[in-house]
Amino acid sequence: VFQRLVTERVEADPNINLLREELRTVPDEGPVIVASGPLTSESLVGSLTSLLAMDTLYFYDATAPIIAAESIDRDIVFRANRRDGEAEGDYLNCPFTEDEYNRFVDAILAADRYPLHEFETGKFFESCMPIDELADRGRKTLAFGPMRPVGLIDPRTGRRP
């Protein structure tokens, strides 16, 4: 929903020139917003590094855990957003007991990991960390980070998970 609303507003704004094509160099006239992501061409990387007076650029996109839909207990899961109070939220929330949370963290810590490429340094953007990197920082890191239940009320209990 969020992505669709942002796209609609950008497309409708007469002050925004939206291009869905390869950008090889940063335009001289601005302001300019470039949202090229991890598949940025070498020519655009060269233009950006020159403009920013940097040797390298980093692109981050943390991987979300993928869960098979049939493995979710629909009697426990609930739809909710953290902050907007909508009756029907955009996210499926799977509350854990303490034991379930610990088993989840154990599974993350024991899971196979996609190896870094030779040229990658393992330097991460702190606001978009891979879940396994967070788990490596301590067993409770997820509970105080992206899995913190602030703003969520479990409809089965009427309490925050």
Same domain, 48 and 67: no
In a domain, 33, yes or no: yes
With beta carbons less than 8 A apart as the criterion, state whether 156 and 149 touch: no
Is residue 70 located within the same domain as residue 145? yes
Q: Report yes or no: 10 and 27 within 8 Å, Cβ to Cβ.
A: no
Give per-residue pLDDT as tens, 40-97: 888 999 999 999 998 877 766 656 667 788 888 989 999 888 876 666 788 889 899 9
Residue-number span of the structural domain to which 32 is assigned: 2-52
pLDDT digits (tens, 9 = 90+) for 130-160: 888 899 999 999 999 888 888 888 888 988 8
Residues 6 and 77 in one domain: no
Coil, strand or helix at 4: helix
Q: Strand pairing partners for 154?
A: 159
